[in-house]
Amino acid sequence: MRRIAILNQKGGVGKTTTAVNLSAALAATGQRVQLIDLDPQAHATLHLGIEPMPDDLSLYDVLTASASLAEVRRPAEANLWVVPSHINLAAAEMELAGVVGRELILSDKLSADQETFDYTFVDCPPSLGVLTLNALATVDEVFIPLQPHFLALHGLGKLLDTIHLVARRLNPRLRLSGVVLCMYEAGTRLAVEVTNDVLAFLAQAREGRTPWAGAQAFQTRIRRNIRLAEAPSFGQSILRYAPESHGAEDYRALAGEVRAQSSQPAIARAS
Ligand SMILES: Nc1ncnc2c1ncn2[C@@H]1O[C@H](COP(=O)(O)OP(=O)(O)O)[C@@H](O)[C@H]1O
Ligand SMILES: [Mg+2]
């Protein structure tokens, strides 16, 4: 099983859109996929049409109480399951403050889970707090979605520092394995410049021994597509909501690249 966190401490860069639609696109190829919604805003949960009711158990109960992942996991689309979030997850950050080993709760719960999946994705909140640390302690790989605008690389340093720190202290398997360019405006100079900066950075990183030495920028660029912005309000992935759209086409192509990655040596090391 590959375990992948979708991470960027900036909001609005395409994390949730990528977590949901990449999961759905992999599920559509017959892979068994679980998506863990670690953001208290519950956008991934809602995007897949799951409306948390007040009495429903959620990831909050998994992280702060004795609930198992199996107890809260819900089917969303064929081959796709969601571990739903809830707004009260925002309080978990504080509630866990005094708990020893609080960064390892999700990892322990996933180890205890009997169900098997080909992919587990974690949609991270836009911060580097204890929730995100739980994600990074659990996964083997990180995908970073980037929106090519002029501050895209700003903040990347801090993100990579965090990955480095977690790799050293909590999870030696952790690797950045992919960068996804989202909301891509083909033909604009800015998109080309930012893309070249990202490629140059990753090429240079290959020399080093950092957790991002094996990272690739996916060839697939996720184009700006209004259908992708509409799909969440219909509670459906883009593959269901608008299967013929550019958005669906791009996430299917990305899923193909992600599956091909599994057989490459640099990535095999990470899993
Ligand atoms: N490729 C895209 N084209 C058009 N709108 C997009 C695209 N990707 C994301 N969006 C929209 O941009 C907003 C932010 O995306 P989201 O995935 O929620 O970011 P994050 O999870 O990083 O905060 C959402 O309203 C989403 O629907
Ligand atoms: Mg989000």
pLDDT at 149: 80
Q: What are phi and psi of 76, to 5 degrees?
A: -115, -60
pLDDT at 221: 96
Residue having the nearest C-alpha atom to atom 25 of ligand 1: 229
Closest ligand 1 atom to residue 225 Cα is 3
- Ligand whose nearest atom lies closest to the CA of 41: 2
Evaluate whether 68 touches 152 at the Cβ level (below 8 Å): no
pLDDT at 18: 98
Q: Give all strands (DSSP E) within the chain, no chain letters.
A: 2-6, 33-37, 74-77, 80-83, 119-123, 141-146, 175-184, 216-223
Ligand 1 pocket, residue 183 CB under 6 Å: yes
pLDDT at 155: 81
- Nearest residue to 134 via CA among 158, 164, 101, 160: 101
Ligand 1 pocket, residue 21 CB under 6 Å: no
Q: Which residues of the chain register pLDDT less than 50?
A: 266-271
Q: Following DSSP, what letter does each residue of 191-222 receive, concatenated? A: HHHHHHHHHHHHHHHTTS-STTTT-EEEEEEE
Ligand 1 pocket, residue 134 CB under 6 Å: no
Ligand 1 pocket, residue 129 CB under 6 Å: no
Distance 65 CA to ligand 1 centre (A): 32
**C-alpha span between 15 and 18 (Å, rounded):** 5
Ligand 1 pocket, residue 228 CB under 6 Å: yes
Ligand 1 pocket, residue 52 CB under 6 Å: no
Q: Which amino acid type is present at position 61?
A: D
pLDDT at 268: 42
Measured between its terminal Cα atoms, the distance across the chain in Å is: 8
Q: Which token pair is 42?
A: 């519950």
Q: What is the pTM of this model?
A: 0.95
Handedness of CA 156, 254, 240, 60 (dihedral sign): negative
Distance 134 CA to ligand 1 centre (A): 24
Ligand 1 pocket, residue 234 CB under 6 Å: no
- Ligand whose nearest atom lies closest to the CA of 184: 1
